[in-house]
């Protein structure tokens, strides 16, 4: 079970990278929540920053805590994004999207000068793939897209991918902030994450996938008594 203290310590460590005047990408999820809360405390003490939320969930949280927000269309630079991950390997490759916010998360991360990943120790893995890989797809033709995603993952070395659409109440597909569906791809292991990412990106109907390659430059793994910072 994820260690809440580890998450909190990782989030606190990320605050050392925050400076007055920054525009910050605010991640989504249980670990990113701790960062937004820490940010709000420092803002109350006089820190001057503004945030760009990666989901409506994060927007609501930040607004409730008094964190100044700015629309992504109104910024010309995002200095730093702090976000969690569902898995992170030794090459700072990530699986993200367990919270169904991967599209906005990747747009903001890619636009940032620096992406910092904060996570508890359970998220550190030798090879990506134990956590189901989310793939955001258009509702139109999603069953066809799912078959193409299966073929792509097989070509990338995944032995037995299993793909299902993420559902919610009433067994209806969950709809993302962008109006799309999520395919959860159970892979077991993804031996070549960059190849899988490239193949998935080429499929018509795939809006985005949860493989974050060459985006994170700093990874902070929380512990009970602090956090360890890895630079890439």
Structure tokens at 88: 């992170």
**For residues 213 and 24, what is the distance between their CA atoms, to the nearest angstrom?**
20
Q: Which of 105, 126, 208, 231 is catalytic?
A: 105
37 is known as an active-site residue:
no
Active centre residues (catalytic)? 105
């Amino acid at each position: 079970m994820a260690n809440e203290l580890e998450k909190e310590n990782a989030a606190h460590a990320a605050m050392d990278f925050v400076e007055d005047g920054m525009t910050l990408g605010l991640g989504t999820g249980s670990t990113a929540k701790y960062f937004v809360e820490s940010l709000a405390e420092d803002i109350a003490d006089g820190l001057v920053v503004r945030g760009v939320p990666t989901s409506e969930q994060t927007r609501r949280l930040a607004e409730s805590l008094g964190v100044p927000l700015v629309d992504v269309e109104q910024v010309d630079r995002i200095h730093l994004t702090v976000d969690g991950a569902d898995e992170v390997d030794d090459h700072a490759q990530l699986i993200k999207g367990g919270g169904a916010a991967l599209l906005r998360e990747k747009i903001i991360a890619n636009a940032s000068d620096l992406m910092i990943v904060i996570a508890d120790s359970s998220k550190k893995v030798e090879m990506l793939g134990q956590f189901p890989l989310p793939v955001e797809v258009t509702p139109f033709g999603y069953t066809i897209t799912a078959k193409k995603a299966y073929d792509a993952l097989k070509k990338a070395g995944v032995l037995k991918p299993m793909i299902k659409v993420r559902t919610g109440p009433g067994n209806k597909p969950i709809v993302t902030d962008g109006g799309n569906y999520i395919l959860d791809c159970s892979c077991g292991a993804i031996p070549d994450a960059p190849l899988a990412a490239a193949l998935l990106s080429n499929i018509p109907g795939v809006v985005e996938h949860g493989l974050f390659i060459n985006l994170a430059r700093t990874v902070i793994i929380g512990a009970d008594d602090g956090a360890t910072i890895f630079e890439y």
